[in-house]
Structure 1
Amino acid sequence: MSEVIFVEDDEALRSATTQALELAGYTVIAHADARAALTAIPADFAGAIVSDIRMPGMDGFAFLDAVHAADPDLSIILITGHGDVAMAVSALHRGAFDFLTKPFAVDHLTASIDRAIERRLLVVENRRLRSEAEAAQAGSPLIGDSAAMVRQRATIAQLAAADIDVLIEGETGTGKELVATLLHRMGPRRGRPFVAVNCGALIDGLAEFDLFGHAADSVPHTRLSRDGQIVAASGGTLLLDEIDSMPLTIQASLLRVLEEREVQPIGEARPIAVDLRIVATTKTDLAAAVAAGGFRADLFYRLNTVRLPIPPVRERDGDIFRLFAAFVDEAKAQLGRPDFTLTDAASRHLREHDWPGNVRELRNFAFESVLGLGTEVARVPSDADLPTRVAAYEADLIEAALRHHRGRVAAALVDLGIPRKTFYDKVARHGIDLDAFRQRPAEA
């Protein structure tokens, strides 16, 4: 039920209006004093505020200013029996949502309240989504500020809260298993089992026992029963990693688990109910695998409810530098190596390579660079923060491109893959002297 905070010093009008609004279906919180109303507005209040203007102590305009000082997006409707055009214009200029003069028809007031609440609900919802996205970014190991990664973190936060099955799609090394882990850790099943099954390692003849379990005396060389990995995941999340590699002989039995949420252990007379969230990953196009006969169509359509594509590194503009900087920090901590930057060859590799191995390949390259395998050491202060290190790497890449092309900007732009305006903005930001590079001989 929608809430309305109503501020009116006239007791008779306050009582009558409150009763009319309650009959219209609102929950009304009435106040005779604006100061009392001000302290009673909850954070992220999702309703509307209706206030008289002429009141003793704090009047409606002062109340409006005080409310908007705390939250400028609160919807406030002002009413008065002494209104004129100038007062109405002043109220709207000061941020009032609407302005009504007494006497007013109740249906006019309720129509204004409905519009105010509709706008306020949008504000509250946008704040919630923004907060979830920021929280996901702040606590997320998914590094990057590209538009693709900002959307990715927000989507993961929403899907985690939804507690539904998800199919994660992405090339090798893009971090699909990490995303699956985040869906579990950020969702309502956090703290419960997270069981990862490597479908590519399942072996025909043995996989059924591992996945579905078995009854006592149903397996040679053992008289004991055993719960499979699916039962072990009950209450939590079951990750089917690389499900595109799952043998066809197992896919039919898995379909029943997805559809019925029950598993039939080998040798048991009755199935066992399981409470699961299922997350699957694939590095190939499952629709193409279905067409080629390598994957069951019914299982594909059951998994295809919610798909979460993970972008490859080459589509995450600008994130390579941030990823590399983060991996360099990780490598330095693990290897106990001093500070460094890159040689021209390594810089060129960062900007020109397609990174088919994605994040995994980039991490390996960072570790190689910290070890000094083929790179020349050029230093960044050890106490520099991440933005400083990223800026240093970015400047290195721009300077390497200019040095290679003897200061020819057009050729450097081709190597860097950025627009001319962006290039000059970065040159100015990093204090790079273009003339100095035009005087250099081209590299061999």
Structure 2
Amino acid sequence: MSAKANRHEVVRPERILVIEDDPGIAVCVDMLLSTRGYACTVFDNGAAGLAHLAAEQVDLLITDLRLPDTTGLDILAASKAERPDLPVILMTSYSSLENAIDALRKGAVDYLIKPFDNDEFLFAVERVLAEQRTRRENRSLRRSLRRAYGERTIIGESDGVKRMLAMIARVASTDTNVLIQGESGTGKELVAQAIHFGGERAERPFVAINCGAIPSDLIESELFGHVKGAFTGAVSTSEGLIREASGGTLFLDEISELPLNVQVKLLRVIQERQVRPVGATQTYHTDTRFVAATNRDLRAETESNTFRADLFYRLNVITIQVPPLRERGGDIELLARYFLERHCRRLGMQIRGMSDEFVAFLREYPWPGNIRELENVMERAIIMAEGDTLSLDEQFDALPQATQARSGPPATEGDPSGPMSIEDYIRHSILRYQDSYCDRDLAALLGIGRKALWMRRRRWGLMKDRGRAEDMQLDDQMS
């Protein structure tokens, strides 16, 4: 086996369930598997074996074809109903090609004739487990890679982003727990993914959970797992996300939302590297790296006793601060162009760029929703675009309510004080200046096109008092 496989077995020995009623063969199989580092459990009847299968996680099932209370084919059928992906090897003393074909057709992965050679037996077991391990790791890796490198990446050249990237590079190669802090929408999960995929755990699972999105009565079983029947609704055994992430990284987003009773249990897992599923009597070793994120001040939460101080110190070995978008200067235009290209490609639209006025607005808007808000604005603007360039007048309805930053008519007595939205600004200016400027000059003064000015007037009932024929002619021109 490879070094990675050996390390995997040390982290969590693969568990093999054996159902064999011959005491001599049962002892021999148990000894062979145990000396290879597998966690082997042996039963001499089908009922006990199936009960164990329903209550515990199993990586491979080996069963005799003839048992005192059932048959191996019945065990195979029951296991497929309970765990469809569980590989099953059947053993028999009766060399029957018909039975072998029937077993393989019903889902068995191999068929051994007793008495078998020890090396032949171990080769079959190790081959099946290696294939199972490869499938499991490939599924996790594909899922993780899609999330981390599908179309999302950390973009930026500001000093704050450079400092953040340097810290990510420093901690990625370690197993240290990390706390990521930053406002909502700043990209904290991207930082967690960069930490995971930048280190030695990159080929192992990256598992993420939003602690605030799971009901408080379910979060414990989601994290730690549960055995079948542990509570109402637990119709099957669940391994839990901590054990699923073993060897890799578990990202705990919105960690401040974790209930206090679950915080206690999580602290024990971090300290002892052992996890006990809900309703179980057995504990399991786990080699999971924990990366947590929050938009709150966890230190203040500990002072108000809403977050455990001991868990905070365990998670806060290294802190990475994600800067808000308003502090990232030129990164706003870089991100906007990235989202423009990405969503045009996804939507099949041809937008070649953004007007200077549109870019100026993006730069000066404070972006309280950070990168998430910017991406949403860019997607809406692309969908609403009428030409091949995003311009401010055409994208009026796509833009967020923001402080008016563009140049406009000089302030005069009676102007509202304080920040105004773009809509308020244009409405106020039309009311104040429409009798002093012609439409062409007023549109130029507001920085919008004549069509946009006309549409605003019509929407707000501010059309100039013209004759019916002139209005109809203007409507035809603007349609």
TM-score (norm: length of structure 1) = 0.52
Question: In 1, are the aligned partners of 2:355 and 2:390 still within 8 Å (CA)?
Answer: no
* Ranges in structure 1 where 5+ consecutive residues have no aligned partner: 1-138, 381-399, 407-439
Question: 1:269 Cα shift?
Answer: 2.2
1:94-109 equivalent positions in 2, closer than 5 A: none
Per-residue CA distance 1:214-239 (angstroms, 9 max, x = gap): 23443345564321111111111111
Is 1:330 equivalent to 2:350 in the alignment?
no
Which of 311, 317, 324 is matched with 2:323 structurally?
311
- Aligned counterpart, 1:28: none
Structure 1 residues 16-415: aligned runs within 5 Å: 141-220=153-232, 222=234, 224-342=236-354, 346-372=358-384, 378=389, 404=408
SS in 1 for 2:292: strand
1:159 to 1:140, Cα distance in 2 relative to 1, 3 A: farther
Structure 1 residues 341-398: Cα deviation after superposition (integer angstroms, max 9, x where no partner): 445763443122111111111111111222235x875489xxxxxxxxxxxxxxxxxx
Aligned mates of 1:221, 1:310 — CA distance in 2: 39
Shift in CA distance, 216/146, structure 1 to aligned 2, threshold 3 Å: same
Change (3 A) 1:220 1:346: same
1:443 shift after superposition? 3.6
Unaligned runs of 5+ in 2: 1-150, 392-404, 411-442, 448-479
Report if the CA contact (8 A) 1:342-1:369 is conserved: no
Task: Answer whether contact 2:183 2:324 (CA < 8 A) is retained.
Answer: yes
Partners of 2:310 and 2:240 in 1: how far apart?
A: 23
Residue 228 of structure 1 aligns with an amino acid whose one-letter code is G
| Deviations 1:181-238, CA, capped at 9 Å, x for gaps | 1111111001111111210123233222221112344334556432111111111111
Kept in 1, the 8 Å contact 2:329–2:363? The answer is no
**What is the SS of the residue equivalent to 1:197?**
strand
Q: What amino acid is aligned across from residue 315 of structure 1 in structure 2? A: E
CA apart distance, 1:248: 1.9
The 1:330/1:441 distance shift into structure 2, 3 A limit, reads closer
- Regions of 4+ moved over 6 Å: none
Q: 1:348 to 1:255 in 2, by over 3 A?
A: same
Q: How far apart, CA to CA, are the structure 2 residues paired with 1:157 and 1:347? A: 32
Q: What is the root-mean-square deviation of aligned Cα atoms in Å?
A: 2.9
Q: Tell me the amino acid that sits aligned with residue 383 of structure 2.
A: L
Secondary structure in structure 2 of the residue aligned to 1:215? coil
Please give the alpha-carbon distance, in whole angstroms, between the structure 2 residues aligned to 1:182 and 1:335: 27
1:244-301 CA distance string (max 9 Å, x none): 1112221111111111111121222232111011100101111122223321122112
Cα pair 1:199 1:245 within 8 Å, conserved: yes
Contact kept in structure 2, 1:169 and 1:308, CA below 8 Å? yes
Partners of 2:213 and 2:152 lie apart in 1 by 29
The answer to whether the 8 Å contact 1:173/1:360 transfers is yes
> In structure 2, what is the Cα distance between the partners aligned to 1:363 and 1:337?
16
Equivalent position amino acid for 1:266 in 2: V
Contact 2:333 2:359 in 1 (8 A): no
Q: Distance in 2 between matches of 1:180 and 1:150?
A: 16
Cα distance in 2 for residues equivalent to 1:327 and 1:379: 13
Could you tell me whether the CA contact under 8 Å between 1:202 and 1:247 is conserved in 2? no
